[in-house]
Amino acid sequence: MSLDPLPKYRFLVTLDPGDAYLPAAQALLLPLAASGAFQEVTGLGAQLEVTSYAEGGRNDSVHQLPLRHSWNRITLKRGVVRDPGLWSWYQAGLADSLGARRDGAVLVLGPDGVPGAAWAFHGGLAAKWTGPDLHAEQNAIAIESLEIAHEGLTKVLQDAAASALPRLSRGR
């Protein structure tokens, strides 16, 4: 295992095509499939909201008390393609948000192509789709983005991320 930092330009995004709320035994039967090539993934993060509480008679410090924890939205950006997959997922959420939830993962690959780090999210909803900015005087790729609101992010251990690669390869 190399301790060198991982490059940020080699990654995979997977989306479980099934319902995120299936019983665990059934959910294991649904293979993860790579969801296409993405130019950029942002939003892997979380924050804890805190409130300051000044205790009477104590002037040297202020207590910081936790209120609630929240997850950032994951944003996927890619060149516009003719595959309607992400748009269909967003549209499904407009009609039935519970049925449109998906689990997924972002895997960062090492120089050898083996996953070096991975983050899994649970109960993701396609919360915001943004179409491309079009400009007739620019020679650039049309980019669309999709924001995923989710109910939790888990850092997957390296051994588990590496074992996921054969499953991802079979799904293509």
Determine how β-strand 33-34 pairs with β-strand 102-109: unpaired
Phi, psi angles (nearest 5°) of residue 8? -90, 5
pLDDT on residue 18: 52
pLDDT at 36: 60
At residue 127, does pLDDT exceed 50? yes
Residue, of 37 and 143, whose pLDDT is higher: 143
Q: Residue 168 — pLDDT band, cuts 50, 70, 90?
A: very low
What are the distances in angstroms from CA 161 to CA 5, 11, 49, 143, 152?
16, 12, 30, 29, 18
* Burial classification of residue 160, based on how many CB atoms lie within 10 Å of its CB (0-12 exposed, 13-18 middle, 19 or more buried): exposed
Cα-Cα end-to-end distance for the chain: 27
pLDDT score at 32: 47
Residue % of the chain over a pLDDT of 90 = 30
Poorest-confidence range of 2-16, 50-64, 137-151?
A: 2-16
Give the confidence band of 71 by pLDDT, cuts at 50, 70, 90: very high
Cα-flanking dihedrals φ and ψ of residue 140, to 5°? Answer: -135, 160
Tell me the mean pLDDT in the region 137-145.
90
- What per-residue confidence (pLDDT) applies to 109? 82
**Cα separation of 150 and 48, whole Å?**
16
Q: Which residue has the higher pLDDT, 117 or 26?
A: 117
